[in-house]
Amino acid sequence: MVGDYCPISGENTDMHSQRNAKSGLSCKMVLQAVGKVLRKSKTKPNGKKPPAEEKKQYLEAEFTKVRVVDFDLKELVLLPREIDLNEWLASNTTTFFNLINLQYSTISEFCTGDTCQAMTACNTIYYWYDERGKKTKCTAPQYVDFVMSLVQKLVTEEENFPTKYGKEFPNSFDSLVKKICRYLFHVLAHLYWAHFKETVALDLQGHLNTLYAHFIVFVREFNLVDPKETCIMDDLSEILCAPVPPTPAPAAPSSPNSAPSPSSHNHVTER
């Protein structure tokens, strides 16, 4: 009858305990599985925790505002009307090679096989590919040496970068320039990522910022480097390559007999 007290036999007790044990085990397994899924959702697909993002010192305002020049770099890279496009690309590419090589030389003693065991920039590792396409992982100084040696060879070979009057540029010239610029970008990115502290200690951050901004504006103007390649430094590029705001004109001096403007009482200069 409903409401009657029905005692549970020993056999029933054992069965009930077994059911409880199985239920507890099932719940535990479910919780463990859910926890595992939640932990993996916060990690990379392989289940490993992503490395903590390092603070980018070069993005701090006290450093990004330091430049060598303050004029619009866009005007500096535009192709002049009377200059051939290939001549313009060759001249600028050679200049950037020399300047970036010089910039790297200022910190080269800090870039060693021990301090820079791989050519890194913003959690990206660059591998060197030889002429046969063989992929090689090397230290940063080795990689930079490969880059500078290759570029030096390319820009000094007459058949690649002709200097004699009437000599035609090769059909592969555009691809050569793009290849050079891609490698030079790797060096600049490594300078910021691994050696910005040394650059600041040498008080050369203004030179590096100006060189980087000039280079990025140039390669963007002529589509020389794939944006997918340079996107790792987009945060810096957007800061350094922003158009320079126009300099406000100085306020005209007021005559002694003129009535003070309302703003003069608040010590605010209108521009």
Annotated binding site for Zn(2+): 111, 116, 190, 195
What is the rounded distance in angstroms from the CA atom of residue 5 to the CA atom of residue 1? 9
Ramachandran angles phi, psi of 258, nearest 5°: -75, 150
Residue 69 to residue 61: CA distance in whole angstroms: 17
Residues annotated in the binding site, as ranges?
111, 116, 190, 195
